[in-house]
Structure 1
């Protein structure tokens, strides 16, 4: 059963690598750039990205979790306990990242969607910082998921 495991592992590494790379670019470049903007400009850019990013990230995240679930089960059935354990770590980390979206990012994004450029709440920077904390959590969890799955691929043969 090495063939299907190899294909699924490769697919998982590609999906999670893309997701981890996008998250890392957000933490390293996009978020600091947004932090440097004044309120109305920040809000315009944030609301615009919140309209476009879900179309990319939702299927990428869900596909990664789905492939990891299948990969973990398949590796366990095939008796590859090390690979199954590494993929299970990747799956748990992926679920932590998803939880970060559902409990943190998404509710804050929905709150910010109602804001109007010249009439931001006085505590908008607090909400911006809170959103970035959730995003950092997602980034770390996605990175762990990618690295665990990559280790599982390396351990496969």
Structure 2
């Protein structure tokens, strides 16, 4: 039996939003790594630019990824699908991303929003390092979650394809 169009849409949305979020945090990771070569004023100026709108992008991609993934996880567990453990693991990883963000990154973002480019705090590098370490954790978890959701979707698609093909007997040609 094939999945309903709604279930496929939610599954596709889960993969899409997890992929968008993963790409976003991966891009920020590269930028943040590049910033390590610069002084406090440059770092602060770039962070203030990042904080202008990037938190909105994070919310607009992570929250739908979480919602869609929990729905897919519930449906996969209920249907006892072979992909249920992959989807459940992806959901747990996205929860780790969310908790890490709320516990570490978002509070630091709030503090950094008040920093002055001319006079960053004396401990700016320690704060940067704490933020970047938490960001590495959430980036790795987000990329792994996206990978697991993609594998789960492909596994599910393979199951649907195999279930929809009737048993075929080998073709024999009589001469």
Q: So what's the TM-score if we normalise by structure 2? A: 0.83
For these two proteins, the number of residue pairs brought into alignment is: 155
| Alignment root-mean-square deviation, CA | 1.4
Residue 113 of structure 1 corresponds to which residue in structure 2? 113
Structure 2 unaligned spans of 5+: 160-175
Preserved contact between residue 43 and residue 117 of structure 1 (Cα < 8 Å): yes
Question: Are residues 1:131 and 2:131 paired?
Answer: yes
Match of 1:7 in 2: 9
Q: Distance in 1 between matches of 2:7 and 2:78?
A: 11
Matches of residues 1-157 of structure 1 in structure 2 within 5 Å?
2-3=3-4, 4-27=6-29, 29-80=30-81, 82-156=82-156, 157=159
Shift of 1:44: 1.4
SS in 1 for 2:88: helix
Q: Which runs of 5+ in 1 are unaligned?
A: none
| Larger helix share, 1 or 2 | 1
C-alpha displacement of 1:7 = 2.6
Stretches of 4+ aligned residues off by more than 4 angstroms: none
**How does the TM-score come out when normalised to structure 1?**
0.91
Q: Give the Cα separation in 1 of the matches to 2:130 and 2:44.
A: 15
Q: Is the 8 A contact 1:96 1:138 kept in 2?
A: yes
Provide Cα deviations, 1:61-113, integer angstroms capped at 9, x if missing partner. 00000000100111122231x21211110100000000111011011111112
d(CA) in 2 for partners of 1:118, 1:5: 52
Note if contact 1:104-1:131 (Cα within 8 Å) is conserved in structure 2: yes
